[in-house]
Amino acid sequence: MEEIVKAVKNGDTVLGIEFGSTRIKAVLVDHSHRPIAMGTCDWENRLEDNIWTYSLDDIWGGLQSCYKDLAEDVRERYGVPLTKLGALGFSGMMHGYMAFDQNGELLVPFRTWRNTMTEEACRKLTSVFRFNIPQRWSIAHLYQAILNGEEHVKNISFLTTLAGYIHWKLSGEKALGIGEASGMFPIDSCAKDFDREMLDRFDELTADKGYPWKIRDILPAVLCAGVQAGKLTDQGAKLLDPTGTLQAGAAMCPPEGDAGTGMTATNSVAVRTGNISAGTSVFSMVVTEEPLSGVHEEIDMVTTPDGSPVAMVHCNNCTSDLNAWVGLFEQFAELLGVKADKNDLFGKLYREALKADADCGGLMAYNYFSGEPVMGLDEGRPMFLRTPDASFTLANFMRTHLYSAMAALKIGNDILLREEHVKVDSLMGHGGLFKTPEVGQRLMAAAMNAPVTVMDTASEGGPWGMAVLACYMLERGPEETLADYLKDKIFAGWTGTTVTPSAEDVAGFDAFIEKYKAALPAEKAAVAGLR
């Protein structure tokens, strides 16, 4: 306790803050990289003019509320105010679109990753770049605005993401970590910068528009983990802490996206490692030995925070439909006069799935609450179906919905692992799907046909990963890579449980997926017909 109090007083602490889709979270760590205080603020995006957005008031009010909660936690735990920091860093939900004019004014409301309004732009850019451009990427939003003839485009002076915006306002520096930058515009992993050839192609593509800017002029600087990206200014300190208690001067690391902090928080930045985050949405990230040989719309090529190529499969839907069915079972229990504990109910139903037929016995489900770009769907309709002679048991029912939660991810990764022959030595699982021991882990191992590990001691997720990246900036040794730093100084001594896929589970999931793909037209018909 005395050491922590001393560290807080002397500013020997490091702060990581992450803007998630539904929560802003701050984690303060000491010299041993362990969390010593936390703060949170819940927030929610809104649909305005058919665009998913957060207002600037939402952003700054949420940040200040989160920091206030952290500062109060510090005072309550240790009896001292939080007056200075050794370093800090910001991360946010990846990509999206924030465009500013020369006066620093936001030109149009923030367009988040959740919007699926850039399909035309993606098709064109993917063809021109010969590189897959997902709908949520900043360059897709920019080009779609150009195709739409939006008036604001000619006035753009700076284009960035949510994390980049916060960093800019607090440090004065227009910079991004390379992992987050890789979701704005394609990265050349050798040059550790935006791909020059593709920048030129974009300028050629838009030359007839007569805009006063070139694409490279309006993008932020690209920085790798380990370098300093400015300092907290006096104005920035007041933005973060309007009470004036926090002093300026803390070193700031490059801002990152939630994928980069997730890789850091799960020790998954080395080549042939990866992680799977499974909750409301699900995505996998595998660090590859080299870029992919072909262009696949199901796979996004991004980078680690230190610039290594990463193959990412991102799916909008994971546990929402599964959670809805568990909620239905909870209602049934209450009808029988039983008040079921939600965690216990989840555990029992998940474990029941392990008794099921490996191929789910003729049952099928689609878990699409929203559109699923990996599967070519702009909208979703959750759907359950079965053959007349199916083995309609509770075990098969639960396994079907667990498979469905992983199905789109599996289809994307089958391309990565079977067609591109990418090698994976280890995958780290985290998120709500893995909370029940063994179940989600075992079925995900079958989906990926690779061992899946879940740490015995859970980290604090993305904001802690952001704090670790800030620590790496302060503590990095000569020639010390991020992978070595994590292995030797952060995760040394950590233990986890690893599940290796069984041949029976792998074959069963493969059989399920073939039927899943064959019946997909029924899901598309449901989208068209059920309004």
Q: Which residues pair with 187 in a beta bridge?
A: 194
Please answer whether residues 302 and 259 qualify as being in contact, where contact means their C-beta atoms are separated by less than 8 angstroms: yes
pLDDT tens column, 424-433: 988 999 888 9
- Set out the domains of the chain in order of their start, with CATH numbers: 267-458+501-531 (3.30.420.40)
pLDDT number for residue 348: 96
The pTM of the whole model exceeds 0.85: yes
Nearest CA among 132, 133, 181 for reference residue 160: 181
| Cα distance between residue 62 and residue 23, in whole Å | 9
Is pLDDT of 209 > 70? yes
For residues 377 and 61, the model is more confident at: 61
> Can you read off the two tokens belonging to residue 525?
């018909």
Section 83-98 average pLDDT = 94
pLDDT band at 95 (very low <50, low <70, confident <90, very high): confident
d(CA 34, CA 27): 9
Q: Which residues contact 210 (CB under 8 A, 6 or more apart)?
A: none
Confirm if 521 and 381 have CB atoms less than 8 A apart.
no
Mean pLDDT of 454-461: 72
> 103: which DSSP letter?
T
H or E element at residue 326:
helix 320-335
DSSP codes joined into one string, 161-213: -HHHHHHHHHHS--EEEHHHHTTTS-EETTTTEE-HHHHHHHHHHHGGG--S-
Q: Is the pLDDT of residue 152 over 60?
A: yes
Q: At residue 459, does pLDDT exceed 70?
A: no
Per-residue pLDDT of 495-525, as tens digits, reads: 889 999 999 999 999 999 999 999 999 999 9
pLDDT average, residue stretch 98-114: 95
Instruction: Quote the tokens at residue 262.
Output: 């997730």
DSSP annotation of 62 reads H
Which of 252, 303, 243, 246 lies closest to 90, judged by CA? 252
How far is the C-alpha of 490 from the C-alpha of 35, rounded, in Å? 12
What is the overall mean pLDDT for the chain? Answer: 95
Q: Which of 64, 90, 80 is nearest to 7 (CA)?
A: 80
**Residue 223, pLDDT above cutoff 80:** yes
Give the model confidence (pLDDT) of 235-265 as tens digits.
Answer: 999 999 999 999 999 999 999 998 899 899 9
- CA-nearest of 379, 333, 329, 370 to 350 is 329
